[in-house]
Amino acid sequence: MILKGAQRGGATQLASHLLKTEENEHVEIHELSGFVADDLHGALNEIYAVSRGTKCHQFMFSVSLNPPVTEQVPIEYFEKAISDIEQKTGLVDQPRAIVFHEKEGRRHCHAVWSRIDLHEMKAINLPYFKMKLQDVSKQLYFKYGWQMPRGFLNKEDRNPLNYTLAEWQQAKRLDADPKILKQHFQDCWMVSDSAESFADALKEYGYGLAKGDRRGFVAVNYQGEVFSLSRWTGLQTKQLKDRLGNPDALPTIEAVKRDMAEQMTTHLWEFVKQTKKEAEIALEPLIQRNRVLVNAHRKERRAFQAKQTTRWEEETRGRSQRLPRGLKGIWFRLTGKHQKIKAQNEQETESCRLRDRDEKQSFINRQLAERHTLQQEFHALKQEHHVQKLQLKQDMARFRERGVEPQEKRKDQLLVKGKTKDQDYGPEM
């Protein structure tokens, strides 16, 4: 059962929409609970009246419950789903309205809750309600043994405009399986009952509904590929027209391509900025570690140098004391001992110099190794983000080949031509 929810206002407009008989063969008000009024307009306007005591503008939570087309779903299944939604979102005991629609032998349901807590006189917060609805939806598919849409099973099957940066990169590595593509279109057909709902379902997978050149109805993906719906859904053109209406009312293939290319280019441009920001955030801890390491190394090097200097001075002093002065010194010179001691001192001095040199080099090598390890982390991180940005810009270039430029570049080009922002974009920019 596909669940789609939204926070919204507009009580009168929503009531009128839910009671439309032009688009539905049957409309049934199944339940009005927690209201004084006994009609849908009155009930939803009660929610609006209560909301006036708060600052909330989206005082209602509306959910559509769409079971699989091939299933005959009893009312208790809908009621169980509505109860699960209330438990997940914290709307238990809130005033609610339930309306059933029937069209072309298919039944679906709409539930509307008041978000206003009468005791606290404030709106009930609904964080992550889309994820919670999806969790309830999955549980319903598992519980009743229905075939689950692939978008629920694999995140890669979702609309690329809803991808995160990581998901976009992962999706690029996946090859399009014809079986999966066909299942996408069949799933969209199963959960829709009009051109509008079918187009919305296609958008969830990253396709746009368009008028074909010769094939009536087609779908266009974000890469600009065109798919014949009669072929990929296995339906006849008459079946498509019965539900989707006249294809002439749909945008052309080129229009959909341009629209999707522009959306994707803007979306990817946001990824470029996101990548740059993530690189700055990721590098900051390394920069801090580098500062700490450099300060520590400087301190260690000063201490090491002082230690070597002190030892050198002590050893030099000790060697100089081997050569006596005065009469003893004269005697050492006459007997040749002075020259021997002097040669020994020179040999030891050179040996100590080489020792200190090697010790210092070993010490520096250790510090360089520590710094090199950190530098490798710097390089790997910078290279990773550089490759990401390069790949994203290559993707953007492919979309720009369809005649679309990112908004930032268009602005720059216009400014180069001598136009101002206000002249081209108006004060709202």
pLDDT tens digits for range 49-89: 999 999 999 999 999 998 887 777 888 889 999 999 999 99
User: What pTM was computed for the model?
Assistant: 0.42
3-state secondary structure labels for all residues of the chain: CEEEEEEECCHHHHHHHHCCCCCCCEEEEEEEECCCCCCHHHHHHHHHHHHCCCCCCCCEEEEEEECCCCCCCCHHHHHHHHHHHHHHHCCCCCCEEEEEEEECCEEEEEEEEECEECCCCEECCCCCHHHHHHHHHHHHHHHHCCCCCHHHHCHHHCCHHHCCHHHHHHHHCCCCCHHHHHHHHHHHHHCCCCHHHHHHHHHHCCEEEEECCCCCEEEEECCCCEEEHHHHHCCCHHHHHHHHCCHHHCCEHHHHHHHHHHHHHHHHHHHHHHHHHHHHHHHHHHHHHHHHHHHHHHHHHHHHHHHHHHHHHHHHHHHHCCCCCHHHHHHHHHHCHHHHHHHHHHHHHHHHHHHHHHHHHHHHHHHHHHHHHHHHHHHHHHHHHHHHHHHHHHHHHHHHCCCCCCHHHHHHHHHHCCCCHHHHHCCCC
- What domains sit in the chain, N to C, each tagged with a CATH number? 2-148 (3.30.930), 176-251 (no CATH), 261-416 (no CATH)
pLDDT tens profile 372-427: 788 788 877 777 766 666 666 666 566 655 544 444 444 444 444 444 333 333 33
Range with the lowest mean pLDDT among 44-53, 325-334, 383-392?
Answer: 383-392
pLDDT tens profile 145-180: 887 766 555 554 555 555 555 544 544 443 455 666
pLDDT tens profile 121-152: 999 999 989 889 988 988 888 888 887 766 55
Tokens of 337: 């001992």
- The Cα-based distances of 409 to 256, 413, 416, 426 in angstroms read 22, 6, 11, 17
Q: What is the mean pLDDT of the chain?
A: 79
Given pLDDT bands bounded at 50, 70 and 90, which one contains residue 92?
Answer: very high
Given pLDDT bands bounded at 50, 70 and 90, which one contains residue 104?
Answer: low
